[in-house]
Amino acid sequence: MTTELKQLVAFLFQRSGKELLTAQEIYMTLSYELGWMTPGEAKKLITQAVERGLLQEDTEGYTPTFAFRDVDIPLGFHIDGLVVDDAPTTPLSDNVVEEVVAALEKKGQGARDTRQRIEETARRQHIIPEAAALVVAHRQGLDTAPFLPSAWKAVKKA
C-alpha cells in the first residue's frame, strides 16, 4: 500500500510539474480529471499520505517529503480508490469478529450477513470464529494485517 501511495503522490507532482499542490488540486485531479476515485476517497488519501509521512502540509498546500522526481512511474500507471485504507491501522479491541464486521460494514456489507458468513466458515472449516473472520475479511478484499495480533491471541487461548 505504501509503495502504491508513494508512486501516486510522485505521479501527481510529476504530472503537475509543481512542488506544491493544494488539497483541491489533488482531489480534483484524482476524481474529476483522471476519474480514479471519488472526491471523498481522494481526500482520505491526502490524510493517509500525511499520516504516513509522504506529504507535508503547510499554509498553502502540500509538498512531498521525498524526492518525487526520482520515483519511477510505470507506463500505463493507474490506481483506484482501493488504495485508500478504510480499515483502522490497529484494531479498536481484541474482539476480532466484531472488528471485522465493523470494517466490512464501512465497505457496505451487512453486519448480519457478515456474521452468518463467519459462523458458516468456522463451522465448515472447523476453525475458531476469529480465524473465520480473517478468512471472510480476506475474501471480501479487506486488509487483515491490523487484526492479526488480536487473532493470534485468540488462537493461543483456544
Q: Show me where the domains of the chain are located.
A: 2-83, 96-157
Q: What are phi and psi of 142, to 5 degrees?
A: -90, 140
pLDDT for residue 64 is more than 80: yes
Give the CATH architecture of domain 2-83: Orthogonal Bundle (1.10)
Of residues 140 and 51, more confidently modeled:
140
- Please indicate, yes or no, whether the overall pTM of this predicted structure exceeds 0.85: no
Reported as a pLDDT band with limits 50, 70 and 90, residue 80 is low
Terminal-residue alpha carbon distance, the chain: 32
Q: pLDDT tens, 17-59?
A: 999 999 999 989 988 898 888 888 888 888 888 888 899 988 8
